[in-house]
Amino acid sequence: MRYLNILFLFLVCAPAFGQPDHLVYKIIPAPDHQDQWKEWSDSLVMARDQLKKQLDYQDSLYRDPVFRWAADCYHIYFLMLFDNAMINPESGRFEVEKFIANTEKDFGRIDGVVLWHAYPRIGVDPRNQFDHYRDFPGGLEGLRRLVDKFHEHGIRVFIDYNPWDRGTRREGREDVDLLVDIIRITGADGIFLDTLTKGSLDLRGKLDSARPGVVLESELALPANRIFDHHMSWAQWFDDSHVPGILWNKWFERRHMMHQIKRWDHDHTAELQMAWMNGSGMLIWENVFGTWMPWNERDKSYLRLMGPVQRTFSFLFRGEGWSPRYPVMMEDVFSSLWYDDQYKLWTVINRSDERKKGMLMKIPCTENMRLYDLFRGTEIGCQDMDSAAISIDLGPRGLGAILVTENTGTAIGLEQFLKSQKKSYAAMDDRVETIIPSDTLINQGNWKPCNKFPGNMVRIEEFPEEIEVSYMQRECGFYRHDGYIPPPDRIHQLVKFTKKINPVKFAIDIAPVTNAEYYDFMVNSGYYPVDSSNYLRHWTSGKPSPELLDHPVVYVSLEDARAYAEWAGKRLPSEEEWQLAAQGKEGLVYPWGNAFDPAKCNSGQSGGTIPVMHFPEGRSPAGCYDMCGNTWEWTESERSDGHTRYVIIKGGSWFKAEGSDWYFQGGPQPSGYSAKYILFWPGLDRSSTIGFRCVADVND
C-alpha cells in the first residue's frame, strides 16, 4: 500500500492546499524493484481515476474528429524561418521540398513544423511579433502559401506566440485577437505558447469559433486541469529516474501528445528513451535561435526507427491498454507494454552503456501467435507451444520493440512495414560525435584605395594592437573567439574579450549616410532592389520629406548599403574599423569619454531619428558624429555557418524595447559593443533603426 498512499496524497490531496493551476506533475518516478511495480501501477490507475473525478474531467475536445490528428503528431521540427536549409539566401525563395527531403533523410518522416519568426531579432526596432509575420516574404498570404505547401506533404504547421512581447508597437487590440487573425488567414494548425504553462480560456474559445481543430501546445509543464483543452505540451528538460517513470499528462490523457526536448544537449538518448517508454513524441531542434546544435547520427537512426512504429501502431499508443513497467529478465533493461485485444507491443530500452543481448521475457505461446522484432523488421517465432522465449539484442543505451499478435497485420500493412524497418535498421549509424560548423566570414570583394577624400571623411591612421569587444550572451550565440563559451552558459550576461587587430589605414565618413545623400544615389545610379519590401518605407512617393533630409537613412538592407558604397567608390567598414573610429586609440568606452551622457546622443528622447550632426559634443576622437545612439550601423562582417547568416551591427539606436530580457539589446551602446543581427530576407532586414556609413582605404 506504500505507493498507493503516496500517489494518492501527491495527486489527489495536494490540490486542496493550492490553486488548480498548481496541478503540475512532470514525471511520476518508478520504484527501483520489480516486485513493487504492480502496486505502483495500480496506484497510478487509482490516482488517475480520482483526479479525473475531482476535476470533473471532460474529454470532448479529444473526441472531436477535428482534433484527432494531434494524438498522432509525434515528431515536430522546430524550424527557424531564416535557416538557409529552408530559405535560399540567393533567391529569397523557400525551398520546402528540399527541406522536407533532407529532413526525412536525417530523421524520417516529420509530422509537424514550428515556424519560428521574431526572436532573437525582435526588439531591434518597434515592430511587434505579429509585424514579423506580416513582413514575411509575401506577407500573411505568402505565409499561407508556405503552410499550404507543408500541408501538401501531410505536415502540420504551428506558429508561435511570445507573451513577453509588450515593449514593441501596440496595436490597440488584444494579442488573442491578433493571433486568431493570423491563424484564420494562414490556415496554421496550432500555436506554440512560448514561455507559458497554458493558454487563456479566451484564446481556446475564439480559436474554436474562427477555425476548429487548432491545437495549443505549452512550452512549460502543463497543469493537469488544462489538459482538457491543450492537446499537446512540451516535456522540456524533464529528468527521469534510472527505472523509467511515467509522464503524468500522457498517463492521465492517453491522447495528449508530449514532445521531449533538451535543446542544448548533443546526446538525445534520454529524450528518445522517455518518448519511447511513454508513447510520446520528440521536438527536433537543431537551429537554436541561430546557434547550430546538430543531432548525432545514432540519435537520428533511432528516431528513424521509432517513428514508423509509433505511426503504424498509434491506436495502441493512444489507447487505454498501457502497462508502464512490464517485468523483464535483463538488468538495466526496461519495457512498457501497449495492448488491445489483437496486439501486444513492448517498447524496450537499455539504460546501460553496454550492449545487452539475451532473453528478455517469456510469455505463453498459442498456436497462431507470431512474434516480430519491429526494429529489425524480422519475425522471431515461438520455440515451443508452451512458452515463447523472447530474446533481444540492444546496443548501449539502445531501443527496441517487440510485437506479438495472432492477427496477420494486413489491415495495418505489416508486411510492407517490416520490409521498410529492415532496410532502415541496416542503415543504422552508431556515431555519437557531432560536428559544429565554423562561422565563415563572407568576403564581399576588394575595393581600390583612394588618393583623395571628400570633406565628409576623416583619416584613421593610428591603431592599438588590440581592442576589447563586448556582446550580450544570448541564445543566438556569437562568432568564435578566444575563450568563447557557447550558450546556454552566461545567458543574458555581458561578455568581453580582447581581439588582436592589424588594420590598414582608412578613411571613414564623419556621419552616417543621410536620406538626402541616399536620394542623390538613387537618382544618379538608377539603383532599385530586386525585392523592395520595406525599402525606404519612411519616404513618401519615392522621396524623403524635407524634415528628414539630414536624418540617417534607414529601411535599407545590407545589400542596399553595399550598393551605395560601391557607387560612391567606397565600402562598408569592418566591425573593427568602425570601433576604432568610434573609440580612438585611447579606447574610450563611448565616443566622447568613459561615462554615458544622454545629452550627447539620441537615446530615444525624440521617439525617432534626428539629424546626424545634432550632437557635436558627442563626436568621437576622430571627429565622427552619431557613433552612439540614433541608429545602429551595418558593418562588413557578414558570416554564415551554412544555416544562419548574420552580420555585426554597431552603435545602438534611439529605440529600446522594455520589459523583457528576451528582446534584442536596444538603446545607445558603448563603442566596443557588437550585436549579432541575423539576416533573413530584405523585407525583414530593413529596419527603422539601422543605417550605415562608409569607409575607403588610404593609399599613401
What secondary structure, in 3-state letters, does 482-523 show?
CCCCCCCCCCCCEEEEEEECCCCCEEEECCCCEHHHHHHHHH
The answer to whether 591 and 572 are in contact (CB under 8 A) is: no
What pLDDT does residue 15 have?
46
| Residue 12 to residue 5: CA distance in whole angstroms | 10
**Identity of residue 400:** G
Check residue 607 and give left, alpha or beta (phi > 0: left; psi -120 to 50: alpha): left
Counting every residue written for the chain, the total comes to: 700
CA nearest to 219, candidates 201, 248, 198, 247: 198
- Using DSSP bridges, classify how beta strands 343-350 and 399-405 pair: parallel, antiparallel or unpaired: antiparallel
What pLDDT does residue 447 have?
64
| Residue 43 to residue 525: CA distance in whole angstroms | 78
The C-alpha R_g of the chain, in whole angstroms, comes to: 29
Output the pTM of the full model. Answer: 0.95
What pLDDT does residue 19 have?
47
What pLDDT does residue 17 have?
38
| Residue 44 to residue 36: CA distance in whole angstroms | 13
Provide the 3-class DSSP secondary structure of residue 188: coil
The answer to whether 74 and 307 are in contact (CB under 8 A) is: yes
Grid coordinates representing 683? 523585407
| Residue 137 to residue 185: CA distance in whole angstroms | 15
SS (H, E, C) 126-160: CCCHHHHHHCCCCHHHHHHHHHHHHHHCCCEEEEE
| 3-state DSSP percent of the chain in helix, strand and coil, to 5 | 30, 20, 50
| Residue 452 to residue 435: CA distance in whole angstroms | 48
What pLDDT does residue 16 have?
40
User: Which residue has 573593427 as its cell numbers?
Assistant: 576
Grid coordinates representing 122? 525582435
Provide the 3-class DSSP secondary structure of residue 164: coil
What pLDDT does residue 388 have?
79
Grid coordinates representing 73? 503528431
DSSP 646: E
Grid coordinates representing 195? 514561455
| Residue 55 to residue 602: CA distance in whole angstroms | 56
DSSP 15: G
| Residue 391 to residue 358: CA distance in whole angstroms | 5
For 304-332, the DSSP string reads HHHHHHHHHTHHHHTSS-EESS---SSTT
CA nearest to 656, candidates 593, 601, 592, 594: 601
| Residue 427 to residue 421: CA distance in whole angstroms | 10
CA nearest to 324, candidates 308, 344, 302, 346: 346
Provide the 3-class DSSP secondary structure of residue 412: helix
In the chain, what's the furthest Cα-to-Cα distance?
A: 98
The answer to whether 222 and 21 are in contact (CB under 8 A) is: no
CB atoms within 10 A of CB 610: 20
The answer to whether 24 and 222 are in contact (CB under 8 A) is: yes
CB atoms within 10 A of CB 356: 22
CA nearest to 632, candidates 288, 121, 291: 121
CA nearest to 195, candidates 168, 229, 160, 171: 160
How far lies 527's CA from each of 213, 371, 522, 572, 686, in Å? 47, 70, 5, 17, 16
What is the block-wise mean pLDDT of the chain (700 residues), using blocks of 10 residues? 52 47 86 94 95 96 98 98 91 93 98 97 98 95 97 98 98 97 98 97 95 97 97 96 97 98 97 98 98 97 98 98 96 98 97 96 88 95 70 96 92 95 97 91 71 83 93 96 91 95 92 98 97 96 97 98 96 96 96 97 94 98 97 97 97 98 97 98 96 91
What pLDDT does residue 204 have?
95
What pLDDT does residue 684 have?
94
| Residue 606 to residue 618: CA distance in whole angstroms | 17
Spell 19-28 as b/e; 16+ CB within 10 A means b.
eeeebbbbbb
What pLDDT does residue 446 have?
63
Instruction: List the Cα angle 315/318/323 in 5-degree steps.
Output: 105
- Using DSSP bridges, classify how beta strands 466-472 and 399-405 pair: parallel, antiparallel or unpaired: unpaired
| Residue 546 to residue 70: CA distance in whole angstroms | 56
- Give, for 52, the enclosing helix (H) or strand (E): helix 37-55
| Residue 64 to residue 215: CA distance in whole angstroms | 12
